[in-house]
Chain A
């Protein structure tokens, strides 16, 4: 418990330090659109609320919305408005009163569609210049588009509907449960259905090529013959998953994307074993044979990227982590049985082909 407390305290202190450092006030001159000028004042930028807090004195602070900022001038005289306000810096606002530019040379009519309405000439009563009242405000226009508008309709169309993949995988087993099992190359198939621009659901079925490596050999103390135990392992994994994907570009013909997914399913292990003995004449005698089946619950976490080299065909590269839940597995330690709760893991490195289907 103590260690938890110290860890929480340490994280808290680090976070507090980071927040304190990030919130250090700057010094400069703030000019608002209504003409108010706060010269050589300390200010803090709050990007969360899109405002600047001007520290007038120890107790008096004033919040100014990004939309009301005309300019921010650093102590050395540099105009840092664009740097501070980023996308909220609208130099066009300053030009609002000027006549429109000559657009006769523009052939693309979509470029003429205004994307922003005029600035609302509303004045904060705390910032009214003492010389007179502001002019009555002109009613602003709202330019919101309806859900049925073409731009939203186009945005709703999915760029792909389904995909099918065939991958090769290099599977690495991990944990006591897989002791003696070697990493191996296998294959898998994957299917995805796009639900939205960022979400897909899917099924993965894969077969890691796990094997126990070389056969076990020894001499039967009773017969003196060479005994060989041949063990074969066949593993299949079945998972259903939800995938979050992000296209690298919003438009264009390629379907390049990065993704991660998580899901659950089952892993099935089938073990076949055969014991044979060889006599002096090297003749094979079957001693015993059998098979066991074991299915376990698994979860999958995967990530990767897909690149299309043709309109609908591409490569899929990624990695998966399968956590195998073994439940309470009885194991022995120095001949004493101990009951342990075990997890095991499979790590897969994948590479394969993917085909996208779209309307």
Chain B
């Protein structure tokens, strides 16, 4: 392959990687309108099944994955430093994160290894909301997507990605409002 062709391919790959990196994997449904109470306690509530009615039972995410997802949410929100996380189900917490799984594909790690990208990919779409428990109102919500296409990543990585995006989006908005 001649040098100019290599340069062209390299440029396309870099441009594609840049574009993919810039794409947000979420859409905000209800943005935070007032600052959060500083370092108020927050707990992770229920993550419910909002999958389509015809979704097969044995293809739904198992309890263990949901528990992991809740742990990731707790860890990622904790990292942002905007809220203090308390135990799951803590009734005294001021805020609560609730979710609903809208779409899920478990994927296959073996397929990703053997057949490469896009084979055996896993993805999830989750509706996440932050509730102010004092009045049971949603103060922040959005639809978040996570996917795993790389052979070296496990299927859990998509839940981690969703948790990270949620925490980042929330903290970004909370910090912006605090500055005002």
Asked if A and B are interacting partners, one says: yes
A: residues with CB less than 8 A from B are 1, 4, 46, 48-51, 63-67, 86-90, 92, 115-117, 120, 122-126, 128, 133-134, 136-137, 139-147, 149, 151-152, 154-155, 195-196, 198-199, 201, 242, 244, 250, 262
Given contacts A90-B53, A147-B62, A154-B58, contact A242 B145 (CB under 8 A): no
* B-side contacts of A65, CB under 8 Å: 29, 102, 127, 141, 143
Bound-state CA distance A122–B136 (Å) is: 7
* A-side contacts of B120, CB under 8 Å: 199
Bound-state CA distance A122–B45 (Å) is: 12
Which of A86, A117, A149 is close to B52, meaning CB atoms less than 8 Å apart? A86
Shortest distance between the CB of A104 and any CB in chain B (Å): 24
* A-side contacts of B33, CB under 8 Å: 125-126
- List 19 A-B residue pairs with CB atoms under 8 Å apart, sorted by A's residue number: A1-B5, A50-B143, A63-B27, A65-B141, A67-B50, A87-B53, A88-B53, A122-B98, A123-B137, A125-B132, A125-B137, A142-B49, A144-B66, A145-B62, A146-B63, A146-B64, A147-B64, A196-B111, A262-B115
Give the nearest-CB partner of B7 in chain A.
A1
The answer to whether B8 and A136 touch across the interface, beta carbons within 8 angstroms, is: no
The answer to whether A195 and B110 touch across the interface, beta carbons within 8 angstroms, is: yes
* A-side contacts of B132, CB under 8 Å: 125
Given contacts A65-B127, A142-B48, 7 further A-B contacts (CB under 8 A): A49-B143, A66-B102, A88-B102, A90-B53, A92-B53, A124-B141, A145-B63
Shortest distance between the CB of B93 and any CB in chain A (Å): 13
Which of A49, A90, A147 is close to B145, meaning CB atoms less than 8 Å apart? A49
Asked if B84 CB lies within 8 Å of chain A CBs, one says: no
Question: What are the interface flags for B78-96 relative to A under an 8 Å C-beta threshold, 1 for contact and 0 otherwise?
Answer: 0000000000000000000
The answer to whether B57 and A151 touch across the interface, beta carbons within 8 angstroms, is: yes
Bound-state CA distance A87–B50 (Å) is: 10
Which of A143, A149, A155 is close to B49, meaning CB atoms less than 8 Å apart? A143
* B-side contacts of A137, CB under 8 Å: 131, 136
Give the nearest-CB partner of A86 in chain B.
B52
The answer to whether A87 and B55 touch across the interface, beta carbons within 8 angstroms, is: yes
The answer to whether A51 and B143 touch across the interface, beta carbons within 8 angstroms, is: yes
* B-side contacts of A92, CB under 8 Å: 53
Bound-state CA distance A177–B5 (Å) is: 29
Interface size class of B (residues with CB under 8 A): 35 or more
Given contacts A63-B27, A242-B115, contact A142 B141 (CB under 8 A): no
* B-side contacts of A126, CB under 8 Å: 30, 33
Shortest distance between the CB of A88 and any CB in chain B (Å): 6
Question: What are the interface flags for B118-160 relative to A under an 8 Å C-beta threshold, 1 for contact and 0 otherwise?
Answer: 0110000101010110011111011101000000000000000
Given contacts A123-B137, A154-B58, A199-B114, contact A88 B52 (CB under 8 A): yes
The answer to whether B114 and A116 touch across the interface, beta carbons within 8 angstroms, is: no
Asked if B108 CB lies within 8 Å of chain A CBs, one says: yes
Give the nearest-CB partner of A63 in chain B.
B29
Bound-state CA distance A152–B59 (Å) is: 8
Give the nearest-CB partner of B114 in chain A.
A242
The answer to whether B46 and A120 touch across the interface, beta carbons within 8 angstroms, is: yes
Report the 9 A-B pairs with minimum CB-CB distance, sorted nearest first: A87-B52, A155-B58, A125-B137, A49-B143, A144-B63, A50-B102, A63-B29, A147-B62, A242-B114
Asked if B169 CB lies within 8 Å of chain A CBs, one says: no
Given contacts A65-B29, A65-B143, A88-B52, contact A125 B138 (CB under 8 A): yes
Question: What are the interface flags for B35-59 relative to A under an 8 Å C-beta threshold, 1 for contact and 0 otherwise?
Answer: 0000000000111111111111111
* A-side contacts of B52, CB under 8 Å: 86-88
Give the nearest-CB partner of A142 in chain B.
B46
Bound-state CA distance A152–B20 (Å) is: 35
The answer to whether A115 and B57 touch across the interface, beta carbons within 8 angstroms, is: yes
Given contacts A122-B138, A152-B58, contact A142 B30 (CB under 8 A): no
Asked if B75 CB lies within 8 Å of chain A CBs, one says: no
The answer to whether B136 and A67 touch across the interface, beta carbons within 8 angstroms, is: no
Bound-state CA distance A140–B110 (Å) is: 35
The answer to whether B63 and A151 touch across the interface, beta carbons within 8 angstroms, is: no
Bound-state CA distance A89–B50 (Å) is: 10
The answer to whether B115 and A244 touch across the interface, beta carbons within 8 angstroms, is: yes
* B-side contacts of A88, CB under 8 Å: 50, 52-53, 102
Given contacts A48-B145, A87-B52, A142-B47, contact A151 B138 (CB under 8 A): no
Bound-state CA distance A123–B57 (Å) is: 28
Which of B4, B26, B27, B60 is close to A1, meaning CB atoms less than 8 Å apart? B4
* A-side contacts of B127, CB under 8 Å: 50, 65, 67
Which of B4, B49, B56 is close to A250, meaning CB atoms less than 8 Å apart? B56
Which of B27, B100, B110, B139 is close to A49, meaning CB atoms less than 8 Å apart? B27
* B-side contacts of A90, CB under 8 Å: 53
Given contacts A145-B62, A145-B63, contact A199 B110 (CB under 8 A): yes
Give the nearest-CB partner of A67 in chain B.
B50
* B-side contacts of A133, CB under 8 Å: 135
